[in-house]
Amino acid sequence: MERGIFGQLILTFGTISLMAIGGANVVVPEVHRQIVEILGWMDAPTFARLFAIAQTAPGPNVMLASIVGWHVAGTSGLLVATGAMLLPSSVLALACSRGLQRFSGNRVVRIVTLALVPIALGLMLASGAVAALAADAGLFGFAITAATAVVTYRSKVNPLVPMAVGTLAYTAVWAAGLV
């Protein structure tokens, strides 16, 4: 059974890492789909909690893979999932960077690199939507998520400020029994 879990961690995160155009956060919907819906290793609220821990902990966003691996198979799972998430994308990034250096003046290369920007932004938006849905925080939770995103986008305020305010607001409403 252990080999099956480790093999599945390698297959899942190794494949997902190759889709991470724009960083590890853009693959959150696919990680959620694989881990919760297909493999059934956890439920959506557990996934949302692990995602929240990964986002609040210092370090790279790839920590979601590490935390999922740890949750599924302990310390060995953490190491396997982290390696599977980092290695394929790192090799691909190295190969692409060498190609970009060599062909940076090519018109097609410039167009492709510009086209990847909206793709990465769309994937990041989908990640936020999946995380909000997985948290199952209701209409008030969605409103806080949207307000936090707007304030973060529109102002130069540190993103931790609207996150802290949203957390306090939700906690107060929850303590009052309104959600």
pLDDT, tens digit, 9 for 90 and up, residues 106-146:
898 889 888 888 888 888 888 878 878 887 778 888 888 88
Q: 67-82 pLDDT, tens per residue?
A: 999 999 999 999 999 9
Task: Pick the closest to residue 43 from 76, 71, 84, 10 (CA basis).
Answer: 71
SS3 content of the chain, % helix, strand, coil (to 5): 80, 0, 20
pLDDT band (50, 70, 90) for residue 1: very low
13-31 b/e (C-beta count within 10 Å ≥ 16 → b): bbebbeebebebbbbbbbb
Q: Please tell me the distance from the alpha carbon of residue 82 to that of residue 100, in angstroms, as a whole number.
A: 27
Q: What is the mean pLDDT of residues 148-155?
A: 90
Question: To the nearest whole percent, how much of the chain has pLDDT over 70?
Answer: 98
Report the pLDDT value the prediction gives residue 123, as an integer from 0 to 100: 83
Which pLDDT value is given to residue 104? 83
- Determine the pLDDT at residue 3: 63
Q: Round the average pLDDT of the chain to a whole number and report it.
A: 89
Is residue 68 a contact partner of residue 16, using CB atoms and an 8 Å limit?
no
Show the DSSP H helices in 57-159 as ranges.
63-103, 107-135, 138-154
Quick check: helix, strand or coil at residue 94? helix
Q: Which of 161, 144, 143 shows the shortest CA–CA distance to 152? A: 161
Residue 36 confidence (pLDDT) above 90? yes
